[in-house]
A = this chain, B = another copy of it.
C-alpha cells in the first residue's frame, strides 16, 4: 500500500522517522529527521506535517519536533509492557526499598534485553540502563537470564555471533557463555560481576507467567564488591510475587 518510488511502504517510512528519536535526541528539526531517516526533503516535510496534524509527532515551545504525547498514549494504554510493569511494580518497590539500588524489569525483544521499568535511588550504584532502552543479551544480567531461557535457535544465533566486550569482564568466549547459561538455569539466577561496567555487579532472576514460561527478568545493580545473598533473596521473593500477580 502506498509505496514510494523507492519501494518502501509508508509504514517503513514511519518506522524510520520514529527511529531517529532516541533518549539523547528527543527534539529535531524536520530537515534533521528527513536526513536521518533517509527521506527526500519534500517527502520528509509533507510526511512530518501529516504526523504533526494527527498528534503522532508534536512541536515544542521552540518549534522543534518531538514524539507526540498522543503516540505515547496510544502505544502505552493497551500495551503488554504496561500490564507486565503494573503486575511487577509493587514487588519492584519492595526490592528497591530492601536493596536500595536500581531495580529493573526487562523482556526479550528482537534479540536484546528491552527495559520496561527502572526504579532508582539517588545514591545508587552506577547503571547505564534506561526505560525503553536496550542491552545485549550476553552482557547484562537481565539479558543472560532471558537468553538462558530463550529458544535454542536464538541461543545459537547469539553464541555464534560477535560477543562484544562492554567491559573487561564481559564474557566474549562462546564456550564460557554456554557454561554461564547452564549455570544460570541450574542456580535460578544470574550474577554478572563487571560485565557491563567495571564497578558494578548485575543480579537477575527470571519472572514466569502462570504457565511457568519465562516472560521477563527482574534485576538489581549493586556495587561490584557488595554481598549478593540478600539482594538475590529479595529478587527471588519478588519474582514469585510477580508470578502471583500475573495469575490474578
Contacts and interface: CB of A to CB of B under 8 A. Distances in A.
A54 interface: yes
B79 A69 contact: yes
A109 B21 CA distance: 21
A131 B25 contact: no
Given A22-B77, A86-B131, A50 B1 contact: yes
B21 A78 contact: yes
Nearest to A82: B131
A122 interface: yes
A76 B75 contact: yes
A83 interface: yes
Given A1-B10, A2-B2, A54-B11, A119 B76 contact: no
Nearest to A16: B54
Contact of A133 (B15, B77, B89): B77
Given A67-B79, A90-B122, A109-B69, A10 B21 contact: no
A71 B109 CA distance: 12
A181 B69 CA distance: 25
A66 B81 CA distance: 11
Contact of A76 (B54, B76, B120): B76
Given A2-B2, A10-B1, A77 B122 contact: no
Given A9-B50, A10-B11, A74-B75, 15 more contacts: A1-B2, A1-B43, A11-B53, A14-B56, A15-B54, A21-B77, A22-B78, A25-B78, A69-B107, A71-B79, A72-B75, A73-B132, A75-B76, A76-B131, A93-B93
